C-alpha cells in the first residue's frame, strides 16, 4: 500500500512518501497559494494505479462567528434584542400574512313614511286584530309593538292599544272611561288641569324618545274631504 500526503504551509509544498518500512520527505518547489485557503490536500489510494483526491477548504478566521459571540453581542447592546424581535416579526408577517377582514355593510334605519290614521283605522292595531300595536298621544301615533308586554292585550296599558291614550295618560288613569269612542270627534283635551297637561307632556316626550313616530291621528271624515 502506498500513502501520499501533501500540505501547503505558507506557499511551500512539502510532500511525504511512505512505503512499507521506510519514509522520506522531499522538499517541493515554491508554490503560490490559491485565492482560497487550502487547509489540506490528501491523496489516498489502496491501488497504486488509482488515486482519490480529497480537498477541504476553511474560511478565514474573521468570517467564523460562533453562537456564543452572537449572544455576547446581544447582551452588550440591548438594542440588538429589539432589532432581532423586529426582524422575527416582519419575517412572520411576510410568511403568514393576515387575512383581510370583511367589514359588514352599514345597516341603515328603515325609512318611515308618516301616514294619517282615523280613530276607526287606528283601532285595529291593538295586538289582537293585528299583531302591530299603535297608540296616539297628543295627535301623534307611535308604534309600540316592541313594548307588547305593556301595551298588548295582557299588559298594564292594554286599554290604550289602538286608541287615543292622551286623556288617560294625562290623568294617570287606565280606566276605559278615559277613551273617546272611535266614532266620535277627537278629544281636544280642553278641560285638563295644569298638572295634567304637564303629565301628558312628559308622556309625549317619553314615547317620542323610545318608540317610532309613524303618523298622525285625524278625524274620521278628514280623508273624505
In a domain, 204, yes or no: yes
**What are the tens digits of pLDDT across the range 157-168?**
999 999 999 999
| pLDDT on residue 110 | 74
Pairwise CA distance, residues 112 & 38, whole Å: 90
* The last residue of a domain, from among 59, 85, 100: 59
Task: Answer yes or no: is 55 within a domain.
Answer: yes
Question: 93 in a domain, yes or no?
Answer: no
pLDDT score for 32: 46
User: What predicted TM-score, i.e. pTM, was given to this entire model?
Assistant: 0.53
pLDDT the model gives residue 111? 84
- 156, part of any domain: yes
**Is 165 a domain residue?**
yes
Tell me whether residue 74 is in a domain: no
- Are residues 119 and 46 part of one domain? no
- What is d(CA 186, CA 180) in angstroms, rounded to the nearest whole number? 7
Residues 134 and 205 in one domain: yes
Number of folded domains that form the chain:
2
- Residue-level pLDDT at 40: 42
Q: Give pLDDT, residue 19.
A: 44
224 part of a folded domain = no
Domain stops at, among 44, 59, 74: 59
Contacts of 185 (CB under 8 A, 6+ apart): 219
Write down which residue in 41, 59, 77 finishes a domain: 59
* CATH at residue 180: 3.10.120.10
Q: 125 and 197: one domain?
A: yes
* 142 phi, psi to nearest 5 deg: -120, 145
**Mean pLDDT (10-residue bins), the chain, 225 residues:** 44 43 47 44 45 45 57 70 80 75 69 93 93 96 96 92 96 92 94 96 97 96 66
10 Cβ contact partners less than 8 Å away, ≥ 6 residues apart: none
* Domain ranges, residue 10: 3-59
Residue 220: half-sphere exposure toward Cβ, Cα within 13 Å:
11
Amino acid at each position: 500500500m502506498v500513502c501520499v500526503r501533501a500540505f501547503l504551509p505558507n506557499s511551500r509544498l512539502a510532500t511525504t512518501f511512505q512505503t512499507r518500512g521506510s519514509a522520506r520527505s522531499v522538499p517541493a518547489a515554491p508554490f503560490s497559494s490559491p485565492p482560497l485557503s487550502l487547509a489540506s490536500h490528501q491523496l489516498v489510494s489502496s491501488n497504486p494505479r488509482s488515486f482519490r483526491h480529497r480537498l477541504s477548504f476553511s474560511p478565514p478566521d474573521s468570517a467564523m462567528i460562533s453562537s456564543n459571540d452572537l449572544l455576547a453581542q446581544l447582551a452588550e447592546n440591548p438594542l440588538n434584542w429589539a432589532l432581532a424581535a423586529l426582524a422575527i416579526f416582519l419575517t412572520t408577517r411576510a410568511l403568514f400574512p393576515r387575512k383581510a377582514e370583511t367589514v359588514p355593510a352599514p345597516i341603515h334605519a328603515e325609512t318611515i313614511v308618516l301616514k294619517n290614521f282615523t280613530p276607526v283605522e287606528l283601532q285595529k292595531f291593538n295586538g289582537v286584530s293585528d299583531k302591530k300595536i299603535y297608540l296616539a298621544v297628543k295627535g301623534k301615533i307611535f308604534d309600540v309593538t316592541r313594548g307588547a308586554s305593556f301595551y298588548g292585550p295582557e299588559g298594564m296599558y292594554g286599554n290604550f292599544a289602538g286608541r287615543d291614550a292622551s286623556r288617560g295618560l294625562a290623568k294617570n288613569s287606565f280606566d276605559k272611561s278615559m277613551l273617546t269612542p272611535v266614532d266620535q270627534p277627537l278629544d281636544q283635551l280642553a278641560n285638563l288641569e295644569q298638572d295634567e297637561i304637564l303629565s301628558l307632556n312628559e308622556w309625549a316626550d317619553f314615547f317620542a324618545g323610545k318608540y317610532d313616530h309613524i303618523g298622525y291621528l285625524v278625524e274620521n271624515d278628514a280623508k273624505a274631504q
